[in-house]
Every structure is written in C-alpha cells, then in structure tokens.
Amino acid sequence: MKAFLLAAGVGSRLRPITDTTPKCMVAIGGQPLLDIWLDAFDRAGVEEVLVNLHHLPDVVRNHLEARAGSLQPPAVRTVFEPELLGSAGTLAANRAWVGGEEMFLACYADNLTDFDLRSLAETHRAHGAIATLTVFHSGRPSAGGVVELDAAGTVVGFTEKPSQPVSDLVNAGMYAFHPRVLDEIGDPPPRDIGYDLLPRLVGRAKAMPVEGYFRDVGTVDAYQRAQQDWLVRATT
C-alpha cells in the first residue's frame, strides 16, 4: 500500500514558528509531526510514502536522509512543488505512482492523531467505494468540511467551510481512495480535495468516525494545546 502525506503548505497560521520550520517538522513530544505520521503509516502496512514539499524543503529532505540512514520504514520519496498544486492537484500530478494500486491513503501532515490507519484501509476494502473519508464532531464546524451521512454511512452532502453548517460532523483529512478518483480532479491546478474533489463524490463516498485523539495543529494555539494533550496521553 502507498500513501500521500500532504505537507507542502506554507503554514501561515503557525507563524512565527513556520518562518524557520516547515509545519510537518514542528515537534510534538520531541518528535516531528512527520515522524509521527511515518510511524503511523508503517503500523498500517504502508510500504511507500510520497511527501510533497514547497516551504523550506531542505529541512525536510535533510531529516528524511537521516531517518533513511537508520533504516526506519516506510520508504519515502519527496516531490518539490515550485508552485503549490493544492491537495487534489498533488494527487493528480502523481497519478502514475498510484495508478496500478488497489487503493492508496492520503493524509494532511498538520493533523495530530493516534487513529489506527489500518481500520481506514480495512473499512475501505470492505465496502469497495471510490473513497472513504474520516469524520469527527467539531466544536467549530464552519472551519472545516461539513459532511452529511445517511444511515449506511454514505456521504450524501459535503460543503467546505460553510457559513451555516447543517451539522457538527467534519472531514478529518484522512482518506482512502481508489485510483479512479483521480479522474474526478479537473485541470488546471491548484485543485483542493475539500473544495474541488469531495463535492463530486457525494453519493459514492463512504465515511467512518475517527476513534481516539485528533486535532488540527494548524494554529499556534492549537499547536500548544496539542503538545499538552499528547504529553497527558503518553502518561495515562
């Protein structure tokens, strides 16, 4: 199995931290988010990960070179985007890398979770839909992609950052996709998963709840909270 780790964003909401550190390299419990994700992919049986880069790419490359020297799986390749392609644009630009796969995963690097990605892959295989997304109940649903589900867990509505959300059920940014989903991504980039892809999958995608800890660490306040939460989690 292969996975995309979407890590190219500038991280403007995390400034001044991201003035010198890419957002995927901010530390939680002394470990970069990047390594937390790679370890999670390894536990899920992912053998290859593609990490897209844009802001301060050499910081990430140098870290990955050191990690490779210690022979820690999974295998990682990077792709540099001189101009940001958007989350869906990155998937489309690397179509050949996953074209022959049964499925692939895609996750945002600026989320922190202990969710078992194996359950996402297993759920996706079980129902055979074109896509399976993860969802959670948010206190600020208008800040995310609001999902509507039917009784069978099929996505029957999706709106990115609505001004009047119909529920508090929000996209968690961890996906299992069949490669044919790439046919739904139009040109030209940038193209976004939330704005440009998921609305096209309504009626065909499935969703599953995130079990365990989950937090978007895209702001300084959220990052500080995540560090505290992760420390408590590790000691309980």
Q: Where are the alpha helices (DSSP H) in 25-158?
A: 33-43, 57-69, 87-93, 95-98, 117-127
- pLDDT band of 68, cuts 50, 70, 90: confident
Query: What pairs with residue 3 in β-bridges?
Result: 49, 105
Q: pLDDT > 90: what percent of the chain?
A: 78
Biggest alpha carbon distance in the chain?
A: 50
Rounded to 5°, the CA angle 96-198-105 comes to 45
CATH of the domain at 20: 3.90.550.10
| Inter-residue contact 180 to 80 (CB < 8 Å) | no
pLDDT in tens, 171-221: 999 999 999 999 999 888 899 999 999 999 999 999 999 999 999 998 999
Across 171-204, b (16+ Cβ under 10 Å) vs e yields: bbbbbbbbbebbebbeeebebbbbbbbbebbeee
pLDDT in tens, 128-153: 999 999 999 998 999 999 999 999 99
Confidence (pTM): 0.93
CA gap 188, 186 in Å, rounded: 6
Query: Whole domain around residue 66: which residue ranges?
Result: 2-235
**Based on the structure, what is the number of domains in the chain?**
1
